């Protein structure tokens, strides 16, 4: 298994220690050739508009969409969740393959970033310290989307088939449970 880390922008390097501990091979994805060779992809946190621009500029958007439609597992973290979302701030999303609607930076600017204890029954986690950094809010989930964790009433960890999204940053915690779950999809 070869896990790709979209390396166009954002915090992709923070996933590497987790993947190493999980014992899987990984590679940084910055072009179509590598995107065509990976078995699954993590889209990291960062700036979703910049990542979207680079996906278009490097002619990767159509191939990424096709790989997802062909069944490649993908995990969108924060900005990655925004890229996967079907609707963003009331407009169509850039990749748009996950039937969720999101609002960017819904909890405030950088200074409003925080850690909240959340329960994640799917992973047998209680009071997991979820780190939110300029996080999007999932306003609506569509057909077939399962919500695995919430912050108040807001979904923060969702999944539809081989696609998963977290609006927080599990890669900033020391445990590997989210990475192991993703590898198992």
DSSP class per residue in 88-120 = ETTEE-SS--EEEEEETTTT-SGGG-EEEEEEE
Q: Which of 18, 148, 171, 179 is catalytic?
A: 171
If one counts every other C-beta atom within 10 angstroms of the C-beta of residue 115, the result is 15
Domains of the chain: 2-183 (3.40.50.880)
If one counts every other C-beta atom within 10 angstroms of the C-beta of residue 71, the result is 8
Local structure of residue 127 (DSSP, 8 states)? E
Please, are residues 89 and 104 in contact by the beta-carbon 8 Å criterion?
Answer: yes
Q: Are strands 125-132 and 154-160 parallel, antiparallel or unpaired?
A: unpaired
Q: Which of 15, 78, 148, 179 is catalytic?
A: 78
Catalytic residue list contains 78:
yes
Note the pLDDT of residue 112. 56
Residues 6+ apart with CB under 8 A from 70: none
Note the pLDDT of residue 109. 62
Note the pLDDT of residue 110. 58
Residues 6+ apart with CB under 8 A from 184: none
For residue 5, what are the CA distances in angstroms to 31, 105, 161? Answer: 11, 23, 20
Catalytic residue list contains 22:
no
Q: Which of 15, 18, 148, 169 is catalytic?
A: 169
| 43 CA to centre of own chain | 5
Note the pLDDT of residue 105. 84
Secondary structure tally for the chain: helices H, strands E: 6, 13
Catalytic residue list contains 179:
no
User: H-helix or E-strand containing 19?
Assistant: helix 16-22
pLDDT digits (tens), the chain, 185 positions: 999 999 999 889 999 999 999 999 999 999 999 999 999 999 999 889 999 999 999 999 999 999 999 999 999 999 999 999 999 999 999 999 999 999 998 776 655 578 999 999 999 999 999 999 989 999 999 999 999 999 999 999 999 999 999 999 999 999 999 999 999 99
């Amino acid at each position: 298994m070869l896990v790709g880390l979209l390396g166009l922008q954002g915090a992709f390097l923070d996933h590497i220690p987790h993947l190493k501990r999980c014992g899987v091979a990984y590679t940084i994805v910055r072009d179509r050739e590598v995107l065509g060779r990976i078995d699954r992809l993590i889209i990291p946190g960062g700036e979703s508009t910049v990542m979207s621009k680079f996906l278009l500029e490097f002619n990767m958007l159509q191939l990424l969409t096709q790989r997802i439609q062909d069944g490649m597992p993908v995990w969108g973290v924060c900005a990655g969740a925004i890229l996967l979302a079907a609707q963003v701030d009331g407009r169509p999303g850039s990749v748009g393959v996950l039937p969720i609607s999101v609002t960017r930076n819904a909890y405030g600017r950088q200074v409003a970033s925080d850690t909240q204890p959340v329960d994640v029954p799917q992973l047998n986690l209680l009071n997991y310290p979820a780190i939110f950094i300029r996080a999007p809010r999932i306003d609506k989930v569509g057909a077939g989307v399962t919500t695995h964790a919430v912050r108040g009433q807001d979904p923060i960890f969702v999944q539809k088939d081989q696609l998963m999204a977290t609006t927080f940053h599990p890669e900033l915690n020391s445990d590997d449970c989210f990475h192991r779950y993703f590898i198992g999809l």
